[in-house]
Structure formats: C-alpha cells, structure tokens
Amino acid sequence: MIIIVLTRGIATEQRALVAQTVKELFSGSRISCGESFISVENISNSSQSYLSRIEALQGVAKVEVPVYEACAHSIKGDNRQETSVRAGNLRIGRDTFTVIAGPCAIEKEDQYLELAQALKEAGAHMLRGAMFKPRTSPYSFQGIGLQGLEVIAQAKKRTQLPVVTEVTDVRYLDKVAQVADMIQVGTRNMRNYELLKELGRSRIPVMIKRGPLASLEEWLLSAEYVLNGGNDQVVLCERGDCAFGRANPALNFNIVLSALETTHLPVIVDPSHGTGIRSHVMPMSKAAAAVGAHGIMVEVHDNPETALVDGKQSLSVSEFGNLMQEIKTITA
Ligand code: PEP
Ligand code: MN
C-alpha cells in the first residue's frame, strides 16, 4: 500500500482534485480517501511511474512507498522460497556459507593460477579475480583488461572452481559472461542502471555490491533492475560505507541483517573492502557467519606486500587457511 499524505488544511475542492487524479492513474487499484491521506493498494510495478506525477500535485505533502511496494521482485513473499544462485556447480543461498577468495586483481597468469590452486586446497568455494579495476585515480593500476579472460578460463579448468569477476562497462559484458560464472557489479557501479538492465537481459549470476551510503531500498532497487529483466540470479554483497581513500570504510551489519530479513536473495559480506585493514578481516568474517550471512568474499594474495592493489587488506594464503578453520567452528 502507498500513502499519499495531503498538506495540512487542504481545501475540500483541492482534495477532490487529487483524489480524482489518483483514481484516474491507478484505476485498477483499491483506493481509500481520508481527511489527510489517500491510500492506494495493489499498485502494479508499471504504474509506479505515476507516483512522481502525484507528488507534483498541489495539496500533496509527500508520497510514502514502503520498500515492499517499491521492490516487489526482491522482497520476501509469503510463499516465496529463498533464492539460490547457481554459479557453475556451486549453490549460494539458504543453509550455505560460501567463501569466495582471491586477489584484488589478476596480475600475472602463473601467479594467479598458483594462488588459485592454493586457495582451493585451503577450502575456498569460489575464486575472485578482477581484470577491470575501477580506481579513484586514473594513474592507479587499472587491471589487465580482457587478457584476464584466458587466465580465468585456465584457473577454472585447473581448479574446477567457479570465478567471479567485475564488469565495469556494458561493452565487455558478452565476452566476460562467456567465461566467468558470476559478474560483479562494484560499489561504484551499483547505480550504473544501463549495466544493470543489460545484466537483467542476460542469464548470468550477478553480485551487486552496496554503493557508498546506499540505503537498503536503493540497494534492492538496483537488484530490481536485474530481476525485472528476468534474471533472478542475484547476490547482494555488503562492502561498507566509504569515502574512497579518505577514511577506512565502515562495514554495516545492520543493513546485512535488514537485507536478510527483507529479501529472498542471498546476502554476503566483503570484509576486505569493508574494513580496509588486514587484521580486521578475520573478526569481520566471523561476524558475517555469526549474523547468518550466506558467505564472504575475501582478498588473498600470495605476497600481500607486493600486491599491485589492496595489499594492506589482503590476507596471505596461510592467514586464509586459518580463517577457513575459524569459520568452520561457527558455520558447522
Ligand atoms: C572489488 O571487490 O574488487 C572492488 C573493487 O570492490 P568495491 O567495488 O566494493 O570497491
Ligand atoms: Mn580490492
């Protein structure tokens, strides 16, 4: 139900005019008119576009749209099962705790393949590896680009693990989707609506990271772009609020819990970008498991001190091995 709040002391004729417009625009919905509000029940997704016209009417103070109306595809319904996302032969979602691990960026082929093998042996369920790095500075390492596709293909072949990688621009989507098992939409691109629409047309699993200071509703609306296109394979990933490079980010477990309560989509946590500090990755990973998240994505590097990107928050392989042991004590 949406509530149209009328201005205080609205004249009777003005109220009647607002009511008439509401009835015309939402003819298929149940409408109740009170002194100070008009409620509209059962509005369709397509008629949501009329809400801005209602907001603009004289005599309307505001229009309240609860998250369950705004995000019809992503909220939990009475009979809706929790969605499981299938990346390769891995299932992410209800009753699972998926650990995705890998370097921030793919640097060199041999190095990535060796690391991938070590991560598999340590118990990772999925690999991460970016070939496109959206960086605040154009002078920072930007990733190895499409050359990374072959590296990802090799890593999959050798480890039999699925791989998630970021796509920053619709131009690369088709090529990357042929090799990767899940496409990451990074925090900066959560609001790249053309990219999200294109992902909605595809059938590849998508992981959407929460954008800086985005509310739960904004995050779910980004997912709606993909779901509304007919692709129901969406994972949400919390990565903390940040002012890139200016301060450490703040991982938001409130929003993780709210997301777990509100949506049928799997929700995971990125304790690496979410803290920016290596020593905080283990406790925050355990916290993610403890609050019931469906997994974590962790940055691991064979030699964090020489990493081209995000070495300060990357774990070594042996630290990752310890993390897997600790996580097991919570998720078992
Ligand atoms: C990443 O996971 O590689 C990344 C760049 O993260 P974010 O978009 O959250 O900054
Ligand atoms: Mn990174």
d(CA 276, ligand 2 centre) in Å: 9
Question: What is the enclosing helix (H) or strand (E) of 197?
Answer: helix 193-201
pLDDT tens across 230-269, in order?
999 999 999 999 877 677 899 999 999 999 999 999 999 9
Q: Is the pLDDT of residue 306 over 90?
A: yes
Cα 272 to middle of ligand 1, angstroms: 9
Mutate to test the pocket of ligand 1, among 239, 248, 300 (most ligand atoms within 8 A of CB): 239
pLDDT band at 201 (very low <50, low <70, confident <90, very high): very high
Nearest CA to ligand 1 atom 3: 104
- Over residues 306-326, the mean pLDDT reads 98
Q: Which atom of ligand 1 has the smallest separation from the CA of 130? A: 3
Question: Does residue 205 line the site of ligand 1, with CB under 6 A?
Answer: no
209 CA to centre of ligand 1 in angstroms: 8
Position 97 pLDDT exceeds 90: yes
- Supply the pLDDT for residue 77: 85
Bridge partner list, 127? 101, 163
- pLDDT confidence of residue 242: 85
Question: Per-residue confidence at 5, pLDDT binned at 50, 70, 90?
Answer: very high
Please tell me the predicted confidence (pLDDT) of residue 245. 67
**Cβ neighbours of 225 (radius 10 Å):** 24
- CA-wise closest residue to 239 among 208, 203, 199: 208
- Section 64-74 average pLDDT: 94
For all residues of the chain together, what is the average pLDDT?
96
The residue type at 159:
T
Instruction: Compute the distance between CA of residue 192 and CA of residue 189 in angstroms, rounded to an integer.
Output: 5
Tell the residue nearest (CA) to atom 9 of ligand 1.
Answer: 187
Task: Give the DSSP letter of residue 263.
Answer: B
Token pair 């997994």 is at which residue?
Answer: 295
Helical segments of 56-147, H only: 67-70, 109-122
Question: If we measure between CA atoms, which residue out of 300, 302, 298, 295 comes closest to residue 274?
Answer: 298
